């Protein structure tokens, strides 16, 4: 149960396929424990076989939890919540609170379900060889995490961009990677980095950029109580870090406003309503 112990690593990941070298420098918090030597062998091979093998060797993450663990720890979690209710001066037996310890315990297990999952499970082999080397961005991914200092929600959005190196990832898998790391007790800086490093290790792209903008309830609901404050963190790896033009392109594409699904829906309904009015009938006209 020590996957979350903070360990300082300096990672280097060199690809020798002749393309731009991807170097990750800096300290990493050790959720992904990976001795640098593990990648030297697989790096020499090519093809999707290499990715699978290096993925397996890279992520020697220990599961700290399983579904069975959840069931086993539920009663003690519920008991802890009952103690909390009593400690706050409430009556745990009143109707509204009678099943609250169990609901709160289950909810908290849900908010930390990232500990049960690993990247390998979630990627599901959705890595495809594609002759595409232009930027891919998935933005406005809603993210919910828990502040590890106050156990209070962090709510925000993640924007991910990467430059593939002949391998692309299923788009929803980016959101699933976000889910794994966000559904934990987190610190926003660490969350940003973990997402970026996970994508890097899965795909070995030319570069990855991850930006998170979030509202921390611990700052909004208590403490300084600043309602409108937002915290923005970013991690730029590979060519996103080295080349300012690439970074610029990423940031510019993030700030443009394409049509929102809700806007589109509203326009469709509005035009349908106008058609009804014009035809003078109450049923839809084609």
Chain contacts with another protein (rule: CB under 8 A): 1-2, 4-6, 64-65, 69, 73, 76-77, 79-81, 83-91, 94, 96-97, 99-100, 103-104, 107-112, 115, 142, 144, 148-153, 155, 185, 187, 217-218, 220-222, 227, 262
Catalytic residue among 149, 265, 270, 274: 149
CB neighbours (10 Å) of residue 102?
15
Looking at the Cβ atoms of 63 and 284, the one nearer to another protein is 63
Catalytic residue among 159, 188, 201, 204: 188
Strand 231-238: give its sheet, edge to edge.
Answer: 185-186, 136-147, 153-163, 207-216, 231-238
Catalytic residue among 57, 213, 218, 276: 218
Q: How far is the CB of 77 from another protein (least distance, A)?
A: 5
Helices (H), 183-213: 188-203
Q: How far is the CB of 182 from another protein (least distance, A)?
A: 10
148 is known as an active-site residue: yes
Looking at the Cβ atoms of 50 and 102, the one nearer to another protein is 102
Longest alpha-carbon distance in the chain = 74
Looking at the Cβ atoms of 1 and 272, the one nearer to another protein is 1
And the tokens for 254? 């993030």
**Angle formed at CA 30 by CA 203 and CA 122, multiple of 5 degrees:** 40
149 is known as an active-site residue: yes
Q: How far is the CB of 226 from another protein (least distance, A)?
A: 11
Looking at the Cβ atoms of 141 and 210, the one nearer to another protein is 141
Q: How far is the CB of 265 from another protein (least distance, A)?
A: 12
150 is known as an active-site residue: yes
147 is known as an active-site residue: yes
List Cβ neighbours of 54 (8 Å cut-off, separation of 6 or more).
38, 39, 42, 43, 201, 204
Looking at the Cβ atoms of 9 and 144, the one nearer to another protein is 144
And the tokens for 3? 């996957």
Catalytic residue among 148, 265, 270, 274: 148
**E strand or H helix at 53:** helix 48-58
Measured CA to CA in angstroms, residue 193 lies from 30, 160, 210, 212 at distances of: 11, 12, 8, 10
276 is known as an active-site residue: no
Catalytic residues: 147-150, 188, 216, 218
């Amino acid at each position: 149960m020590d996957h979350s112990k903070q360990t300082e690593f300096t990672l280097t990941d060199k690809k020798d396929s002749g393309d731009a070298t991807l170097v990750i420098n800096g300290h990493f918090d050790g959720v992904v424990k990976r001795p640098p030597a593990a990648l030297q062998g697989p790096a020499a091979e090519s093809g999707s076989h290499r990715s699978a093998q290096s993925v397996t060797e890279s992520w020697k993450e220990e599961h700290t939890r399983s579904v069975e663990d959840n069931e086993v720890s539920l009663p003690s979690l519920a008991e802890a919540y009952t103690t909390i209710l009593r400690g706050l001066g409430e009556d745990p037996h009143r109707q509204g609170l009678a099943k609250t310890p169990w609901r709160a315990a289950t909810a908290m297990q849900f908010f930390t379900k990232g500990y049960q999952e690993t990247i390998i499970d979630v990627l599901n082999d959705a890595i495809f060889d594609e002759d595409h080397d232009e930027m891919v961005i998935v933005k406005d991914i809603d993210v919910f995490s828990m502040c590890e200092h106050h156990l209070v929600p962090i709510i925000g959005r993640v924007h991910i961009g990467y430059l593939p190196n002949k391998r692309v990832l299923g788009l929803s898998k980016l959101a699933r990677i976000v889910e794994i790391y966000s559904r934990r007790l987190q610190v926003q800086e660490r969350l940003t980095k973990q997402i970026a490093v996970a994508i890097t290790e899965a795909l070995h792209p030319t570069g990855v950029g991850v930006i998170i903008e979030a509202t921390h309830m611990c700052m909004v609901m208590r403490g300084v109580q600043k309602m409108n404050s937002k915290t923005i963190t970013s991690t730029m790896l590979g060519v996103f870090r080295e080349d300012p033009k690439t970074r610029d392109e990423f940031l510019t594409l993030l700030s443009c406003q394409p049509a929102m699904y809700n806007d589109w829906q509203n326009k469709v309904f509005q035009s349908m309503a106008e058609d009804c009015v014009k035809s003078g009938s109450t049923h839809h006209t084609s």
